[in-house]
């Protein structure tokens, strides 16, 4: 039986008849730069109208990922829900299910060089 990857999570857009996500499941945690890339990939999955409609949510998600990188990443279990103010269900979720995510690249090199 194969072990589950140490680092798992997802960034998800939900509500307003939308449900799209970018997932990771890997042995090495994603850097904050990779987190931003996943966020951008998620944006591209949405229709243009929905991207525009959720711009503020994506901006807040980007700030969360960058802040996490500056603080050394985030450790599971983390669920960050970024809700649209004028909507009951439109949101962006960032979930770190196991392990760590959004390390700075420099910290990543230090941690994994020591292992």
> Within a domain: residue 2?
no
> Within a domain: residue 65?
yes
Total domain count for the chain? Answer: 1
Q: Average pLDDT, whole number, for the chain?
A: 90
> Within a domain: residue 99?
yes
Q: What are the CA-CA distances from residue 4 to residues 1, 11, 27 (Å)?
A: 9, 19, 9
Task: Name the 3-class secondary structure at 14.
Answer: strand
**In terms of residue numbers, what domain contains 21?**
7-114
- Per-residue pLDDT of 46-99, as tens digits, reads 999 999 999 999 999 999 999 999 998 999 999 999 998 888 889 999 999 999
pTM: 0.87
> Within a domain: residue 1?
no
> Within a domain: residue 66?
yes
Q: What residues contact 74, with CB distance under 8 A and at least 6 apart?
A: 68, 96, 100, 101, 102
- The span from the CA of 82 to the CA of 98, in Å, is 20
- Per-residue pLDDT of 68-77, as tens digits, reads 999 989 999 9
Q: Is the pLDDT of residue 115 over 90?
A: no
């Amino acid at each position: 039986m194969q072990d589950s990857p140490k680092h798992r999570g997802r960034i998800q857009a939900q509500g307003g008849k939308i449900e799209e996500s970018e997932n990771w499941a890997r042995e090495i945690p994603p850097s904050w730069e990779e987190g931003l890339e996943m966020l951008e990939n998620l944006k591209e999955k949405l229709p243009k109208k929905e991207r525009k409609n959720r711009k503020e949510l994506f901006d807040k998600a980007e700030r969360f990922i960058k802040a996490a990188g500056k603080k050394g990443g985030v450790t599971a279990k983390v669920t960050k829900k970024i809700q649209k103010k004028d909507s009951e269900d439109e949101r962006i979720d960032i979930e770190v299910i196991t392990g760590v995510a959004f390390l700075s690249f420099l910290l990543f090199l230090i941690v994994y060089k020591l292992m």
